[in-house]
Protein backbone atom coordinates (compact mmCIF):
# COMPACT_ATOMS: atom_id res chain seq x y z
CA UNK A 1 0.00 0.00 0.00
CA UNK A 2 1.45 3.38 -1.03
CA UNK A 3 1.26 6.50 1.14
CA UNK A 4 -1.15 8.05 -1.38
CA UNK A 5 -3.45 5.04 -1.12
CA UNK A 6 -3.40 5.23 2.66
CA UNK A 7 -4.19 8.96 2.52
CA UNK A 8 -7.16 8.30 0.22
CA UNK A 9 -8.39 5.59 2.59
CA UNK A 10 -8.24 7.91 5.60
CA UNK A 11 -9.97 10.69 3.63
CA UNK A 12 -12.77 8.27 2.78
CA UNK A 13 -13.15 7.38 6.45
CA UNK A 14 -13.27 11.09 7.35
CA UNK A 15 -16.33 11.50 5.11
CA UNK A 16 -18.32 9.80 7.86
CA UNK A 17 -17.27 12.49 10.35
CA UNK A 18 -19.08 15.19 8.36
CA UNK A 19 -22.58 13.72 8.56
CA UNK A 20 -24.82 11.62 10.78
CA UNK A 21 -26.37 9.98 7.72
CA UNK A 22 -25.27 6.70 6.20
CA UNK A 23 -23.31 7.09 2.97
CA UNK A 24 -23.32 5.09 -0.23
CA UNK A 25 -20.30 4.25 -2.36
CA UNK A 26 -21.41 6.56 -5.18
CA UNK A 27 -21.93 9.45 -2.75
CA UNK A 28 -18.43 9.03 -1.37
CA UNK A 29 -17.04 8.67 -4.87
CA UNK A 30 -18.55 12.04 -5.82
CA UNK A 31 -17.35 13.69 -2.59
CA UNK A 32 -13.80 12.39 -2.98
CA UNK A 33 -13.64 12.52 -6.81
CA UNK A 34 -12.37 8.95 -6.79
CA UNK A 35 -13.44 5.97 -8.93
CA UNK A 36 -16.25 3.92 -7.36
CA UNK A 37 -14.09 0.80 -7.64
CA UNK A 38 -11.41 2.38 -5.44
CA UNK A 39 -13.98 3.57 -2.91
CA UNK A 40 -15.69 0.17 -2.83
CA UNK A 41 -12.42 -1.70 -2.13
CA UNK A 42 -11.55 0.71 0.67
CA UNK A 43 -15.05 0.53 2.15
CA UNK A 44 -14.92 -3.28 2.07
CA UNK A 45 -11.64 -3.24 4.02
CA UNK A 46 -12.99 -0.87 6.69
CA UNK A 47 -16.19 -2.92 6.95
CA UNK A 48 -14.34 -6.21 7.38
CA UNK A 49 -12.23 -4.61 10.13
CA UNK A 50 -15.29 -3.25 11.96
CA UNK A 51 -14.63 0.45 11.38
CA UNK A 52 -17.73 0.68 9.17
CA UNK A 53 -20.98 -1.28 9.05
CA UNK A 54 -23.43 -1.71 6.19
CA UNK A 55 -27.19 -1.30 6.49
CA UNK A 56 -28.68 -4.49 5.04
CA UNK A 57 -31.69 -2.64 3.60
CA UNK A 58 -30.23 0.58 2.15
CA UNK A 59 -26.78 -0.96 1.47
CA UNK A 60 -25.24 2.27 2.75
CA UNK A 61 -22.49 2.51 5.33
CA UNK A 62 -21.96 4.21 8.69
CA UNK A 63 -19.34 4.18 11.44
CA UNK A 64 -18.89 0.81 13.13
CA UNK A 65 -18.23 -0.39 16.66
CA UNK A 66 -14.44 -0.15 16.32
CA UNK A 67 -14.66 3.64 16.25
CA UNK A 68 -16.08 3.66 19.78
CA UNK A 69 -12.84 2.14 21.06
CA UNK A 70 -11.05 5.35 20.11
CA UNK A 71 -13.86 7.47 21.53
CA UNK A 72 -13.65 5.73 24.91
CA UNK A 73 -9.92 6.29 25.16
CA UNK A 74 -10.15 9.96 24.18
CA UNK A 75 -13.17 10.77 26.35
CA UNK A 76 -11.64 9.22 29.46
CA UNK A 77 -8.25 10.90 29.14
CA UNK A 78 -7.53 14.39 30.44
CA UNK A 79 -5.59 15.39 27.37
CA UNK A 80 -4.98 18.88 26.00
CA UNK A 81 -7.95 18.55 23.64
CA UNK A 82 -10.46 18.21 26.49
CA UNK A 83 -8.97 21.25 28.26
CA UNK A 84 -9.15 23.23 25.02
CA UNK A 85 -12.81 22.34 24.64
CA UNK A 86 -13.58 23.45 28.20
CA UNK A 87 -11.98 26.83 27.49
CA UNK A 88 -14.02 27.14 24.30
CA UNK A 89 -17.25 26.31 26.11
CA UNK A 90 -16.56 28.95 28.77
CA UNK A 91 -15.93 31.57 26.08
CA UNK A 92 -19.06 30.60 24.13
CA UNK A 93 -21.13 30.86 27.31
CA UNK A 94 -19.71 34.26 28.22
CA UNK A 95 -20.08 35.72 24.70
CA UNK A 96 -23.27 33.81 23.89
CA UNK A 97 -21.83 33.18 20.43
CA UNK A 98 -20.44 30.08 18.77
CA UNK A 99 -16.73 29.35 19.18
CA UNK A 100 -14.91 26.91 16.95
CA UNK A 101 -11.44 25.52 16.44
CA UNK A 102 -10.18 25.12 12.89
CA UNK A 103 -7.11 23.12 11.89
CA UNK A 104 -5.21 23.53 8.65
CA UNK A 105 -5.45 20.38 6.53
CA UNK A 106 -3.57 20.74 3.23
CA UNK A 107 -5.69 23.08 1.07
CA UNK A 108 -8.50 23.46 3.62
CA UNK A 109 -9.38 24.61 7.07
CA UNK A 110 -11.32 21.89 8.90
CA UNK A 111 -13.63 22.57 11.85
CA UNK A 112 -12.61 20.12 14.59
CA UNK A 113 -14.32 21.47 17.73
CA UNK A 114 -17.44 23.58 18.26
CA UNK A 115 -18.84 25.22 21.37
CA UNK A 116 -22.24 26.63 20.47
CA UNK A 117 -24.13 29.59 21.88
CA UNK A 118 -27.47 29.22 23.67
CA UNK A 119 -29.30 31.47 21.22
CA UNK A 120 -32.40 30.13 19.51
CA UNK A 121 -31.28 31.77 16.26
CA UNK A 122 -27.56 31.43 15.65
CA UNK A 123 -24.95 30.83 12.99
CA UNK A 124 -24.24 27.10 13.01
CA UNK A 125 -21.03 25.41 11.87
CA UNK A 126 -20.80 21.65 11.42
CA UNK A 127 -17.96 19.47 12.64
CA UNK A 128 -15.72 18.45 9.79
CA UNK A 129 -16.67 21.42 7.61
CA UNK A 130 -13.92 22.04 5.05
CA UNK A 131 -13.31 25.56 3.74
CA UNK A 132 -10.71 26.83 1.24
CA UNK A 133 -7.88 28.44 3.19
CA UNK A 134 -8.28 31.93 1.74
CA UNK A 135 -12.02 32.37 2.51
CA UNK A 136 -13.56 33.44 5.82
CA UNK A 137 -11.93 34.66 9.02
CA UNK A 138 -11.06 31.23 10.48
CA UNK A 139 -9.15 30.22 7.34
CA UNK A 140 -7.84 33.58 6.15
CA UNK A 141 -6.09 34.16 9.48
CA UNK A 142 -4.08 31.00 8.76
CA UNK A 143 -3.61 31.77 5.06
CA UNK A 144 -1.96 35.08 6.01
CA UNK A 145 0.90 33.28 7.78
CA UNK A 146 1.82 31.00 4.87
CA UNK A 147 4.76 31.63 2.55
CA UNK A 148 3.81 33.42 -0.67
CA UNK A 149 4.64 30.39 -2.85
CA UNK A 150 2.26 28.26 -0.79
CA UNK A 151 -0.44 30.91 -1.05
CA UNK A 152 -0.10 30.87 -4.84
CA UNK A 153 -0.31 27.06 -4.88
CA UNK A 154 -3.56 27.16 -2.90
CA UNK A 155 -5.13 29.75 -5.16
CA UNK A 156 -4.12 27.69 -8.19
CA UNK A 157 -5.62 24.55 -6.60
CA UNK A 158 -9.07 26.16 -6.30
CA UNK A 159 -8.96 28.26 -9.46
CA UNK A 160 -7.58 25.81 -12.01
CA UNK A 161 -9.21 27.63 -14.92
CA UNK A 162 -7.15 30.76 -14.26
CA UNK A 163 -3.66 31.45 -15.58
CA UNK A 164 -0.54 31.83 -13.45
CA UNK A 165 -0.70 35.59 -14.01
CA UNK A 166 -4.32 35.68 -12.78
CA UNK A 167 -3.33 33.74 -9.65
CA UNK A 168 -0.60 36.30 -8.91
CA UNK A 169 -2.99 39.18 -9.56
CA UNK A 170 -5.57 37.71 -7.17
CA UNK A 171 -2.95 37.24 -4.46
CA UNK A 172 -1.73 40.80 -5.04
CA UNK A 173 -5.26 42.07 -4.41
CA UNK A 174 -5.27 40.22 -1.07
CA UNK A 175 -1.82 41.37 0.04
CA UNK A 176 -2.92 44.50 1.88
CA UNK A 177 -5.51 42.55 3.86
CA UNK A 178 -3.08 39.70 4.61
CA UNK A 179 -0.40 42.12 5.80
CA UNK A 180 -2.91 43.79 8.11
CA UNK A 181 -3.93 40.40 9.53
CA UNK A 182 -0.30 39.60 10.36
CA UNK A 183 0.26 43.06 11.78
CA UNK A 184 -2.82 42.88 14.03
CA UNK A 185 -2.57 39.12 14.68
CA UNK A 186 -6.30 38.63 14.08
CA UNK A 187 -8.83 38.62 11.26
CA UNK A 188 -12.42 39.82 11.12
CA UNK A 189 -14.87 39.25 8.28
CA UNK A 190 -18.52 40.13 7.78
CA UNK A 191 -20.64 38.27 5.24
CA UNK A 192 -17.64 36.72 3.48
CA UNK A 193 -18.18 33.00 4.03
CA UNK A 194 -21.88 33.40 4.79
CA UNK A 195 -23.74 36.63 4.05
CA UNK A 196 -25.51 36.52 7.42
CA UNK A 197 -22.48 35.77 9.58
CA UNK A 198 -19.44 37.47 11.03
CA UNK A 199 -16.20 35.85 12.14
CA UNK A 200 -13.43 37.04 14.46
CA UNK A 201 -10.37 34.79 14.42
CA UNK A 202 -6.90 34.56 15.91
CA UNK A 203 -4.05 32.26 14.80
CA UNK A 204 -2.60 29.32 16.74
CA UNK A 205 0.89 27.91 16.24
CA UNK A 206 2.76 24.68 16.94
CA UNK A 207 5.95 24.45 18.99
CA UNK A 208 7.97 25.33 15.87
CA UNK A 209 6.01 28.62 15.60
CA UNK A 210 4.32 27.34 12.42
CA UNK A 211 0.69 28.20 11.79
CA UNK A 212 -1.55 25.15 12.31
CA UNK A 213 -4.95 26.32 13.55
CA UNK A 214 -7.25 29.20 14.47
CA UNK A 215 -9.80 30.02 17.14
CA UNK A 216 -12.94 31.83 16.05
CA UNK A 217 -16.00 33.54 17.50
CA UNK A 218 -18.84 33.62 15.01
CA UNK A 219 -22.43 34.82 15.02
CA UNK A 220 -25.10 36.63 13.04
CA UNK A 221 -24.24 40.04 11.62
CA UNK A 222 -27.17 41.86 13.25
CA UNK A 223 -25.66 41.05 16.68
CA UNK A 224 -22.41 42.82 15.83
CA UNK A 225 -21.33 46.42 16.50
CA UNK A 226 -17.93 48.06 16.96
CA UNK A 227 -18.03 48.02 20.77
CA UNK A 228 -19.10 44.37 20.92
CA UNK A 229 -16.53 43.36 18.33
CA UNK A 230 -13.77 44.98 20.40
CA UNK A 231 -14.90 43.21 23.57
CA UNK A 232 -15.21 39.82 21.85
CA UNK A 233 -11.74 40.20 20.36
CA UNK A 234 -10.25 41.00 23.78
CA UNK A 235 -11.82 37.90 25.32
CA UNK A 236 -10.93 35.74 22.31
CA UNK A 237 -7.26 36.75 22.57
CA UNK A 238 -7.18 35.90 26.29
CA UNK A 239 -8.63 32.43 25.73
CA UNK A 240 -6.44 31.85 22.67
CA UNK A 241 -3.35 32.52 24.77
CA UNK A 242 -4.44 29.77 27.17
CA UNK A 243 -5.25 27.40 24.33
CA UNK A 244 -1.94 28.19 22.63
CA UNK A 245 -0.05 26.72 25.59
CA UNK A 246 -1.93 23.44 25.08
CA UNK A 247 -1.71 23.48 21.27
CA UNK A 248 2.07 23.79 21.54
CA UNK A 249 2.20 20.45 23.36
CA UNK A 250 0.38 18.54 20.61
pLDDT tens digit sequence for 202-217:
999 988 899 999 999 9
Q: Is the pLDDT of residue 183 over 60?
A: yes
**Measured between alpha carbons, how far is residue 203 from residues 63, 95, 150, 210 in Å?**
32, 19, 17, 10
* Cβ(68)–Cβ(85) below 8 Å: no
Confidence bin at 17 (pLDDT 50/70/90): confident
Residue 93, SS3 per DSSP? helix
Q: Has residue 79 got a pLDDT over 90?
A: no
Residue 77 has pLDDT above 70, yes or no: no
What domains can you pick out in the chain, each with its CATH number?
Answer: 2-67 (1.10.10.10), 74-246 (3.30.450.40)
The arithmetic mean of pLDDT across residues 170-185, rounded, is 93
Instruction: Supply the mean pLDDT for the chain.
Output: 88
Each as own residue / partner, the long-range contacts of residues 126-131 (CB below 8 Å, 24 or more positions apart, any chain) are 126/18, 127/17, 127/18, 128/14, 128/17, 128/18, 129/18, 130/18, 130/105, 131/102, 131/193
In this prediction, residues 66-84 reach a mean pLDDT of: 67
Residues 93-116: pLDDT tens digits? 999 999 999 999 888 999 989 998
With cut-offs at 50, 70 and 90, classify the pLDDT of residue 1.
Answer: very low
Task: For the chain, give the number of residues.
Answer: 250
- Sequence-separated (6 or more) residues with CB below 8 Å from residue 169: none
| Element (DSSP H or E) covering residue 73 | helix 66-76
| Residue 129 to residue 120: CA distance in whole angstroms | 22
Amino acid sequence: MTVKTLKNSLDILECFATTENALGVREISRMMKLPTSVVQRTINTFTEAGYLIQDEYTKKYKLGYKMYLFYDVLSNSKDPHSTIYELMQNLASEMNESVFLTYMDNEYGVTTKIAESNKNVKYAVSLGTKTPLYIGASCKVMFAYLEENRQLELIAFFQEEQSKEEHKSYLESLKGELQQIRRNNWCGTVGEYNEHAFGISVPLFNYKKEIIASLTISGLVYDLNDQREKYMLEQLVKVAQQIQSHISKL
